[in-house]
Amino acid sequence: MRTNVAFKTLFTIAIGVSLFSCNSKKDSSRATGWDINSKDGGFQYKTDYKEQETAPGLVFIEGGTFTMGRVQDDVMHDWNNTPTQQHVQSFYMDETEVTNLMYMEYLDWLKSVFPPSEENYRNIYNGAVPDTLVWRNRLGFNETMVMNYLRHPAYANYPVVGVNWIQAVEFSKWRTNRVNELILEKEGITQQGARFNVDAETTFDTDTYLNAPSQTYGGNEELLRGGNKADNYGTTPVDGGEARNIYVQRKDGVLTPEYRLPTEAEWEYAALGMSSIRSYNVYRGRKKYPWDGQYTRSGDPRRMGDQLANFKQGAGDYGGIAGWSDDGADITAEVKSYEPNDFGLYDMAGNVAEWVADVYRPIVDDEFNDFNYFRGNVYTKNAINEDGSVKIVTPNEIQFDTLSSGRIVARALPGQIAQDPITESDTYMRTNFDSSDNRNFRDGDKSSTRYFEPFQDVDSPNRRMYNSPQYGVVEDTVTGGVRPNYDAAKRTTLISDEVRVYKGGSWRDRAYWLDPAQRRYFPQDMATDYIGFRNAMSRVGSKSKDKNKSARN
């Protein structure tokens, strides 16, 4: 009798636990009480999302507060990097610089999809190829690098150089699309191998997929919905009808944010790698290099005296004495040749300097903003057709720009969404921004000061502190395009809205430039043999990967 009672009691408890478990699995709205993701219909949402996965090549950088700018003596008296306190959100950054091998994969894809043998596409590929002539020196024999550095397998894992800022940005866009294209294929949405069966009219673009998915892959339904899980993805069909939300959306948390160039603040924060010198959430400061200490040589008994980065030790000394090299390299070095910093990032000092996203100005206006500081915002919106649909760039509508160097580059590739600048109607009654181009906002020139008089000509040369002349254009008889009509006699500064910051020392630089706080600038459409780049990606969601971490840790 007692056994039966005990059995009934356990059975009742088990049933109750089972019912409780079933009920606990249901996601009900705190707003309406309706079930979310109900098979009967209603609101569908990914409620079991955990956190952003680390995309290929990246490492996680937990954000925080740091002192941006020089914390040592400014012996060069540049006065362009005075210390300011900034806060950077968590983000991801490439473990190493973008290598020749990575960039060659990009060129191979362009050559396959937009054959340079076809007149309409020739400048797409040619505009992306690095300038290998940057290695030439009028009093030096560097033809070996001119001919081999980019393409020879001996240099495959060396950082790519000869890439201007615009090319680096275009590579970042391409990388975003290829990563997300593979994700959709692995999720079983797109056709297996779809990424290998595209041409100029059937390319994949992430923004196009999110905004006008039916026009992705040129509207090729077989590629777009050919995966083995495509019909079961999204909302379950209701009453035998067709499924809704049959494409992956941003709310599904499947696609990654964009690969991009890091901001100057992000790059400097990541390079400092201060995670090892935190004590009770207070930074000790005065960190000179990405590694601990004030010297460029290792104090480790096993590597005593070895250089910790690839840089120029002195006049005529790029690598050291033969047989016992100081840094193991005379030009660039293979990535991961030196120890990483505390974030796990390699070569944040030396090897190559790196492009960042910011437009250069001598001042960092921390009084206006000290959160995710960035100068270079140009806000745009999707171009809209007369029927209200987004405008997709077609192979016959590619628009090209001729850079000051004479190189011709494509503005947007076929399959991407055309962009328009925002207008006054878009910013009406807004307090946080009022124009499309904000590159020169509060940059210290006369039109940015409190003495600005709105009825005077703000473009007058007498009113411009950074009076890099605004030139017209002339026909370029070499390229067949147009180029700025420069007059060197009138040029009084190199600072303009087309000049970008680059950070870190390189194989050509002395140790002084290894300090992550150092900042220099270079025209965005020109390249050198000592500037490369790496990508970053924004973190969405929690600041820390360990969501249960105590705030006191």
Q: What is the CATH number of the domain that holds 406?
A: 3.90.1580.10
Please tell me whether residue 446 adopts helix, strand or coil conformation: helix
22 found inside a domain:
no
pLDDT in tens, 452-470: 444 445 555 555 556 555 5
468 with 494: CB under 8 angstroms? Answer: yes
**CA terminus-to-terminus distance, the chain:** 57
Q: For 219-231, what is the HEC assignment?
A: HCHHHHCCCCCHH
In a domain, 475, yes or no: no
Give one word for 493, left, alpha or beta, with left for phi > 0 and alpha for psi -120 to 50.
beta
Side chain identity, residue 69: G
Nearest to 503 by CA among 523, 537, 532: 532
Q: How many CB atoms are located within 10 Å of the residue 342 CB?
A: 16
Q: Does 14 reside within a domain?
A: no
Q: What is the DSSP letter of 52?
A: P
**Please, what's the b/e burial string for 73-107 (b: 16 or more CB within 10 A of its CB; e: otherwise)?**
eeeeeeebbeebebebbbbbbbbbbbbbebbbebb
* Token pair in block for residue 63: 């954000």
- The neighbouring-strand residues paired with 400 are 410
Concatenating the DSSP letter of every residue in 472-498 gives -EEE-TTTSSEEE---GGG---S-STT
Q: Is residue 123 part of a domain?
A: yes
If we measure between CA atoms, which residue out of 475, 468, 515 comes closest to residue 290? 515
User: In this structure, what are the phi and psi dihedrals at residue 457, rounded to the nearest 5 degrees?
Assistant: -75, 105
The answer to whether residue 26 is domain-embedded is no
- Host domain of residue 367: 58-439+497-538
Confirm if 408 and 123 have CB atoms less than 8 A apart.
yes
Measure the CA–CA gap between 328 and 349, rounded to whole angstroms. 15
Q: What pLDDT, on a 0 to 100 scale, did the predictor assign at position 22?
A: 46
Among candidate residues 224, 200, 247, 259, the one with its CA nearest the CA of residue 393: 200
State pTM to two decimals.
0.87
In a domain, 422, yes or no: yes
What is the distance between the alpha carbons of residues 466 and 497, in angstroms, rounded to a whole number?
10
pLDDT digits (tens, 9 = 90+) for 349-373: 999 999 999 999 998 999 899 999 9
Euclidean distance between CA atoms 181 and 428, whole angstroms: 37
Domain count within the chain:
1
DSSP letter for each residue of 325-358:
ESSS-SS---TTSS---TTS-S-SSSSSEEEEEE
Return the axis-axis angle of helices 100-113 and 165-186, rounded to nearest 10°.
80
Closest CA to 124 of 199, 217, 224, 180: 199
Pairing verdict, β 531-532 and 353-359: parallel
**Do residues 336 and 329 make contact, with C-beta atoms less than 8 angstroms apart?**
no
Which helix (H) or strand (E) is 167 found in, with range? helix 165-186
Residue 299 covered by a domain:
yes
Is residue 5 included in any domain, yes or no? no
pLDDT in 10s for each residue of the chain, 553 residues: 555 655 555 555 555 545 444 444 458 899 999 998 887 878 888 888 889 999 999 999 999 998 898 766 667 777 788 889 999 999 999 999 999 999 999 999 999 999 999 999 999 999 999 999 999 999 999 999 999 999 999 999 999 999 999 999 999 999 999 999 999 999 999 999 999 999 999 999 999 999 999 999 999 999 998 888 877 665 444 445 555 567 899 988 999 999 999 999 999 999 998 754 444 344 445 567 777 667 677 666 666 567 778 888 888 888 877 766 677 889 999 999 998 999 999 999 999 999 999 999 998 999 899 999 999 999 999 999 999 999 999 999 998 888 887 888 988 899 999 999 999 999 999 999 999 999 988 887 655 554 344 444 555 555 555 655 556 677 776 666 666 666 655 666 778 889 999 999 999 999 889 999 999 999 999 999 999 999 999 999 999 987 655 444 4
Q: What is the DSSP string of 244-274?
A: S--S--GGGT-S----BPPPHHHHHHHHH-G
Q: How many of the other CB atoms lie within 10 Å of CB of 165?
A: 24
CA angle (519 as vertex; 320, 499 as ends), nearest 5: 115
Q: Quick one: which H or E segment has residue 43?
A: none
On whether the CB atoms of residues 440 and 463 are closer than 8 A, the answer is: no
E strand or H helix at 523: strand 519-523
